[in-house]
Structure 1
Amino acid sequence: MPRFLRQFGLRSLLLFCTLAAVCFGLWRWHMSWVDRQFELAAQIGEKDGQLRWETWGPAWLHETFGSRYFSQIVMVDWHRKRIKDEDLELLREISTLEILYLAGNPITDDGIAVLDDLPKIKRLALWSTRLTDESLKHVGKLKQLEALDIHYTQMTENGLAHLRGLKQLSLLRQDLLLTDQGIGHLQTMPNVQLERIQAEQLSEESLRWVGTQRGLTSLQLKHPQGDRWADGISAMTKLRQLQVSYGEMGDEQLRAILRANPLVLLELENVPVGDAALIPIEWLGSLRRVSLSETNVTPEAVLRIFGSDARKLELSIMSKDCINTQKPFTGPICQWQGEFQEDEWQHLALCHRLQELTIAHPLPNAEHLQGLASLKSLQSFTLHGPGSDALVGALAKLPHLSFIALRMSGGITANGYGQLKGAANLGRLYLSQCQINDEQFAEIAKISQLGALLISTSSITDAGIQPITSLGNLNELYLFDCPNLTGEALRTVSVLSKLQFLQLQNVPVDDIGLAHLHGMPKLQIVRITGTRFNPQAMSDLLDSLPARQPRKVSNPRY
């Protein structure tokens, strides 16, 4: 026996050998465990998984033995990798896992049971899956869980009962429809913060808890109880979207919310706020969309605040009268629904920067159209529905108007169309389903500045179209559903020396008619549908056009 061992007794030597054997055994077990982790990592990688490793222990260990056996897997990202339940079994042996992303995969509640063997999970993403409340039974066992994302799943507020008491949970992303029951479950999580709440029929107690969620960015409430719930919203300084329906709110409460919050979206339906609730638009720097339905806000206030800088405005009838305004570039867009009375048409004059106006609403009497005549910046006007000579007269006075589209706009006489001769900048006129006859067309043909003309669903005849030769600047012509025109009408069209684009649809022209277009000096594109002709006749026509070349022309708005 070596001399240095003689100083130890046999018992001490046995104890030393036993301890050494245990240490070497543990080290060997650890090496096997680490080797297995690398095998699992390779299999996860084969299924497009992304991993993150972390090392542990002092630096001298890594320098002496290398880092392989002092590393562990802490993250697996299988986001949208089409993994299934059987693939999740690879995770059972990775007990060091802290972050797991399983979003966007066809996994089920049975597969998610693997979480029972992963107690160290701190961040878990399950969004955009078919998981139900059953999965939350397994999630609720993760006592170290800090962040959970379950939006776009089949989970309900009932599943939150399985998460009760998770003390470490601080971030919960969800899109559940919450009631008092769901809020009650959330109240048992002392540190939880939500980014979004969608709730209905909340009691005043539940609404007070909602008011403590200062990190909310989106709040949607339906039928909130009481009249003081809105007081806490002004303290939510990160709130970007607020949607409230059928709730009590005062003017001062809404003003405080608009002042305090960087709202991007505001939607109110059947909320009794009035004109006094709105603040000047310059204070609404971040606001991009406002929807006011069945409130006490009047059209005058909407047009004064949101219309003064608007470039686009739509006035229509859906379930209710509707006003849409749009400011260029950064907004905001405003949608209002309520009752728009005849005497409120005059308030259109408040939109003095308006460039595009669309109306799908019955027109008022002539005396109430003066607001239109005040829109000196208007460039585009579209009407869906009956028109009047008074309307056309008001439009003719607008100095910058360059586009008019009328759809199903009966009620305008030949004299009414004749007033458009005074619209000096009118370059495009689209008349769809306006039942234009020969007499009316004769007046339309006097608008010599026109560059584009569309006539749809018209009774115009070959004789009636002859005045079109007066439109010397016309370069685009669209004739749709004009059954009384024949190939002879194309003889008249051929006189238009500047015409570049011609489209006919359901106009009974023939090969002889196409021959009249041969050699037109500027004509480049001819489109004919809904009638029969010899393809060779079209080919001959195109070959005869000296200016013919590929050119993109968008379909007309009508």
Structure 2
Amino acid sequence: MTLTKSDPASTLRRWHSYSLKTLLIVMTVFAVLIGSRAQQAHDQNIATKRIRELGGEVTYDFKPSFEETYRRQMEAQVAVATGQQPPVYDDRPKAPKWLVDRLGIDWFARVTEVRLAKSMLVDDDLAVLTRLPRLRRLTLRALPNLTDEGLKHVGKLRRLEILDLSENSLVGHGYTDAGLAHLSKLTSLDRLTLDSSHIGDEGLKHLSELTKLESLSIESTQVTAAGLKHLKRSTRLRSIGTTIPMNDAMLASLEPFKQLELILPLHETATDNGLQHLRGFRQLKQLDVSDTQITDKGLETVATMSGLTSLSLRRTAITDTGLQQLRNLPGLTQLELTGTGISDAGLKHLTTLTALEHLGLNDTQIEGTGFRDLMAQKTLTSLGLSNTRLTNEGLAEIGKFAAVHILIVSHTPISIHGLHHLSKMTMLSHIDLSATSIDDEGLEQLKHLPTLKSLNVYGTEVSEAVAANNPNWNIVP
């Protein structure tokens, strides 16, 4: 076998040939990428200029959304009010400033949000939005010339996640049920606002494919409870904003949406049968059934809503016995029982509510002795007992709740001899003693409370001189 010696010059030529080919390929790919990016930047620049000409605003991906900006402003105000340093955010593009100034921001950032409100734009002006392929959030509010034709352009923005089309019928003809058909392909939408529009039940048919929806607002529209059946596949819905009365029919229409976290207060005609449609709504955070026909039987349904943090049963027909259904709601922080027939006997059923912060018992049969059953409630900060049968003996039990900040005991039979029981409530900042038999002598017993700032003594025997002698108290005479 004969071995041929490789020619170094030949090898070098082949290496150079391969290197040149590779370099040519790399340069070609690079040129294509640069060209593509240049075209995208050009398109975006045209779009942003036109949007601003129409009176709109844009947000780039390195900037917070308008909602986030508002949240930060509120956060900063709270920080300043509490003597803290407001947080600092770095919202600059990743590219060097000199390069951004040289080439323009559209080379280095994508527009993710557009807001157009009260603009005189016409439908065809919205075609420019298709030049923004990364658009996620779009607001088209109070546009007098927006019609179904304009929604055609909106329907091409397949990456949209948040869309606000509210208030358009207030200033113009607006869009119709038929126009919503253009939105049927926006399957990435998770929030849709259609408030104050002419849409009705037929319009919701076109939204049946929007299965990722988590929030839908249809306030001041012609949609009825029956129309919500078209959204039965949108099982991710956490919030439905509506002005439809929450009667039994409406509650029935909500049955498929077991992920709901918020619903409006129930209508006065709502009954236990209607409430049953919400059985097993474990994500629901707040429920207000005040002034309805709900009874103890309805509380059996409420007991299945294990995620509740706020429950209002004001002026319903519930009894002490019914309260035992609440023992399965350990996450409750707010409980309103004002205007019910609850007495001290019912308080023993609240012992498992160890997260409770506010308990409203105004206009009930409470005398106060039942609070001895609630000694485990270390988190209680607000207690309403106005117009009850509260006695000095009951006040002695209440005085053991050292974490209470706000105490309302107006229009009760307590006397000056009971106020000394409040000596251990060192966190009290406000007491309402209006329309009781308290006088100057009684108020003297409250002087040792270190955080007390506000007292309501309207309709009592307390004199104006007390206010003058206690400048640190804000006394409402």
SS of 1:239's partner is: coil
The corresponding residue for 2:417 is: 393
* Inter-partner Cα distance in structure 2 for 1:247 and 1:280: 18
Which of 125, 132, 138 pairs up with 2:169? Answer: 132
* Inter-partner Cα distance in structure 2 for 1:426 and 1:167: 60
Question: Is the Cα contact below 8 Å between 1:392 and 1:420 reproduced in 2?
Answer: no
The corresponding residue for 2:7 is: none
Which of 123, 137, 152 pairs up with 1:116? Answer: 152
SS of 1:50's partner is: strand
* Inter-partner Cα distance in structure 1 for 2:460 and 2:311: 42
Q: Percent identical across equivalent pairs?
A: 14
Larger RCO, structure (CA 8 Å, separation 6 or more): 2
Which of 66, 78, 91 pairs up with 2:126? Answer: 91
Amino acid in the other structure paired with 2:424: H
Gaps of 5+ in 1: 1-29, 53-70, 311-326, 437-454, 459-476, 481-501, 504-553
The corresponding residue for 2:210 is: 169
Amino acid in the other structure paired with 1:377: K
Gaps of 5+ in 2: 1-35, 62-106
The corresponding residue for 2:332 is: 287
Give the C-alpha shift of residue 144 in structure 1.
Answer: 0.7
* Inter-partner Cα distance in structure 1 for 2:358 and 2:157: 44
* Inter-partner Cα distance in structure 1 for 2:287 and 2:272: 17
Q: Deviations over 1:359-388 (max 9, x none)?
A: 654877xxx432223445366897876898
Give the C-alpha shift of residue 258 in structure 1.
Answer: 2.5
Give 1 or 2 for the bigger CA radius of gyration. Answer: 1
* Inter-partner Cα distance in structure 2 for 1:408 and 1:213: 45
Question: Is the Cα contact below 8 Å between 2:226 and 2:253 reproduced in 1?
Answer: no
* Inter-partner Cα distance in structure 2 for 1:114 and 1:250: 50
* Inter-partner Cα distance in structure 1 for 2:191 and 2:328: 35
Question: Is the Cα contact below 8 Å between 2:201 and 2:223 reproduced in 1?
Answer: no
Give the C-alpha shift of residue 285 in structure 1.
Answer: 3.0
Question: Is the Cα contact below 8 Å between 1:98 and 1:120 reproduced in 2?
Answer: no
Give the C-alpha shift of residue 167 in structure 1.
Answer: 3.7
Describe the shift of the 1:370–1:151 C-alpha distance in structure 2 as closer, same or farther (beyond 3 A): same
Give the C-alpha shift of residue 292 in structure 1.
Answer: 3.2
Describe the shift of the 1:398–1:78 C-alpha distance in structure 2 as closer, same or farther (beyond 3 A): closer
Q: Deviations over 1:245-297 (max 9, x none)?
A: 5555553552453244311222235543333333487743322222235545x
* Inter-partner Cα distance in structure 2 for 1:228 and 1:136: 35
The corresponding residue for 1:141 is: 182
Describe the shift of the 1:126–1:302 C-alpha distance in structure 2 as closer, same or farther (beyond 3 A): farther
* Inter-partner Cα distance in structure 2 for 1:203 and 1:419: 50
Question: Is the Cα contact below 8 Å between 2:286 and 2:311 reproduced in 1?
Answer: yes
Alignment of 1:340 onto 2:382: no
* Inter-partner Cα distance in structure 1 for 2:51 and 2:156: 22
Amino acid in the other structure paired with 2:58: G
Give the C-alpha shift of residue 333 in structure 1.
Answer: 1.9
SS of 1:261's partner is: coil
The corresponding residue for 2:256 is: 212
Alignment of 1:195 onto 2:220: no
* Inter-partner Cα distance in structure 1 for 2:338 and 2:457: 31
The corresponding residue for 2:58 is: 49
Question: Is the Cα contact below 8 Å between 1:177 and 1:200 reproduced in 2?
Answer: no
Question: Is the Cα contact below 8 Å between 1:125 and 1:148 reproduced in 2?
Answer: yes
Question: Is the Cα contact below 8 Å between 1:405 and 1:557 reproduced in 2?
Answer: no
Total equivalences in the alignment: 370
Greater fraction of residues in strand: 1
Question: Is the Cα contact below 8 Å between 1:348 and 1:372 reproduced in 2?
Answer: no
Describe the shift of the 1:182–1:557 C-alpha distance in structure 2 as closer, same or farther (beyond 3 A): same
Question: Is the Cα contact below 8 Å between 1:195 and 1:217 reproduced in 2?
Answer: yes
The corresponding residue for 1:457 is: 464
Query: Structure 2 matches for 1:280-359, cutoff 5 A?
Result: 283-296=328-341, 298-300=342-344, 303-306=347-350, 331-340=356-365, 344-350=367-373, 352=375
Query: Structure 2 matches for 1:383-532, cutoff 5 A?
Result: 391-396=415-420, 400=424, 411=437, 417=441, 457-458=464-465, 479=468
Amino acid in the other structure paired with 2:261: T
* Inter-partner Cα distance in structure 2 for 1:39 and 1:139: 29
Question: Is the Cα contact below 8 Å between 1:145 and 1:166 reproduced in 2?
Answer: no
Question: Is the Cα contact below 8 Å between 1:243 and 1:268 reproduced in 2?
Answer: yes
SS of 1:278's partner is: helix
* Inter-partner Cα distance in structure 1 for 2:306 and 2:388: 38
